[in-house]
């Protein structure tokens, strides 16, 4: 009987190959799972950002409409609620502390009302924050008893306007045989507002939109 060498013994090799294949498949599965997780996170973050972006974009349009309503009704208080919107005009004083303004007539906001920041000594230029806003939406994000934020997702808005003369127009009518002319001209002014909206959404997602809004006088 010929002796069998341990080197030539192939018994159990199938088990080894199966285990190697199992390890390879496990590594592939882990890699695929990790990639899928990252892709889901990327897609979720993209969705949250787009949601915040469009919410801020829509808020600028809403703020423009509120400006028009405010101009028609010039008797707003500095702390009021209109529908699902909270109105609270605040700004910094010369010491850099936030203060309430006398009224809620945000259409009267001007660049001169924006005072320098006490820390950077730079004008905040009407950028909305959780402590410096003209409007905030929705109303459920504000505790109207203390006028502090409840932590819910919200959009804060500010509007700063500058009055400028509008371009005039003229029409000259010639009377023909009379050799005379008749003229009609029109001109006026408009207020161009910088409407800013800042959306604070879930997972600390933020988006800021700037829109120009023109009110013709």
Alpha-helix runs per DSSP H in the chain: 13-72
Tens of pLDDT, residue by residue over 86-141, are 888 766 565 656 667 767 788 887 765 555 555 555 555 557 878 778 889 888 88
Tens of pLDDT, residue by residue over 137-167, are 888 888 888 888 888 899 999 888 888 777 6
Tens of pLDDT, residue by residue over 20-39, are 899 989 989 898 888 888 89
User: Is 99 contained in some domain?
Assistant: yes
For 8, phi then psi, to 5°, come to -80, -5
User: Is 96 contained in some domain?
Assistant: yes
User: Is 171 contained in some domain?
Assistant: yes
User: Is 174 contained in some domain?
Assistant: yes
Task: Please state whether the peptide bond connecting residue 141 to the residue before it is cis, i.e. omega within 30 degrees of 0.
Answer: no
Structural domain that includes position 49: 34-216
What long-range pairs does 48-54 form, CB within 8 A, spacing at least 24? 48/201, 48/202, 48/203, 48/205, 49/205, 49/207, 51/201, 51/205, 52/199, 52/200, 52/201, 52/205, 52/206, 52/207, 53/199, 53/207, 53/209
User: Is 130 contained in some domain?
Assistant: yes
**Average pLDDT for residues 68-80, to the nearest whole number?**
84
What's the predicted TM-score (pTM) here? 0.69
User: Is 86 contained in some domain?
Assistant: yes
Q: Check residue 95 and report its DSSP letter.
A: T
User: Is 56 contained in some domain?
Assistant: yes
């Amino acid at each position: 009987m010929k002796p069998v060498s341990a080197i030539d013994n192939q018994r159990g090799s199938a088990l080894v190959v199966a285990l190697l294949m199992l390890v390879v498949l496990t590594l592939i599965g882990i890699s695929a799972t990790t990639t899928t997780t990252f892709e889901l996170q990327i897609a979720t973050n993209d969705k949250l950002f787009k949601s915040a972006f469009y919410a801020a974009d829509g808020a600028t349009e809403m703020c423009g409409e509120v400006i028009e309503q405010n101009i028609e009704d010039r008797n707003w208080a500095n702390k009021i609620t209109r529908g699902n919107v909270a109105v609270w005009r605040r700004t910094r004083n010369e010491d850099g502390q936030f203060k309430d303004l006398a009224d809620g007539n945000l259409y009267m906001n001007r660049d001169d009302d924006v005072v320098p920041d006490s820390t950077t000594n730079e004008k905040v230029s009407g950028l909305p924050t959780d402590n410096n806003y003209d409007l905030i939406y929705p109303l459920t994000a504000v505790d109207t008893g203390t006028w502090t934020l409840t932590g819910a997702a919200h959009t804060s808005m500010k509007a700063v306007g500058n009055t400028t003369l509008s371009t005039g127009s003229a029409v000259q009518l010639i009377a023909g045989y009379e050799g005379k002319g008749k003229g009609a001209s029109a001109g006026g002014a408009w207020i161009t507002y910088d409407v800013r909206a800042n959306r604070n959404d879930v997972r600390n997602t933020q988006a800021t939109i700037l829109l120009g809004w023109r009110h013709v006088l």
